[in-house]
Amino acid sequence: MSPFASGALGAATVLLLAGLVRNAVWHRRSWRRGMRRSGPFFLRRLYTRLGTRREQEQVLSSEADALAKELRALREDAHALRAEVADLIAAPALDAAKVQAAIEARLVRLDAVKIRLAGGLSRVHAALDAAQRTELAELLRHGPHRFRAHVG
């Protein structure tokens, strides 16, 4: 696989995960009054659907929080990259070494997110039993609303 394709695939994965985390944060803010110790709305719903035990919920919650933290850091890093690119564009001459250094610094952060995601998936896999993993796989494959009637 070419480096460009690998980077594009990694970026697409991160953007998908950022969207999931954004939804989680939105649910956390809008459902704060009804929030229990088990976590935000979407996690409570997942726990109910999977039939998890308290120790499994703790693993899932800690992995979701850790991934959210990594993605927030990646987002902040992306804002810093925007400022750097703006400065490079505004310069009288474009310095290729500085451009490469700015991009490489962000790719290192992306690699850290990929490593964190792989480790988190491994811990979640180990925490769930076979039936729960199958149900979670179906949710990931088809989404949570696969049996809901679509009005259109």
CA distance 98 to 83: 13
pLDDT of residue 45: 87
Q: For the whole model, what pTM was predicted?
A: 0.60
Question: Helix, strand, or coil here: 146?
Answer: coil
DSSP characters over 65-87: HHHHHHHHHHHHHHHHHHHHHHH
pLDDT tens by residue, 118-145: 999 999 999 999 999 999 988 888 877 7
Which two tokens mark 142?
Answer: 């088809």
Q: Please list the pLDDT of the chain residue by residue as tens digits (152 residues).
A: 677 777 777 777 777 777 777 777 766 555 444 444 445 777 888 899 899 999 999 999 999 898 888 888 888 888 888 888 889 889 999 888 988 888 888 888 888 888 888 999 999 999 999 999 999 988 888 877 765 554 44
> Would you list the domain boundaries of the chain?
3-142
- Contact indicator for 67, 77 with CB cutoff of 8 Å: no
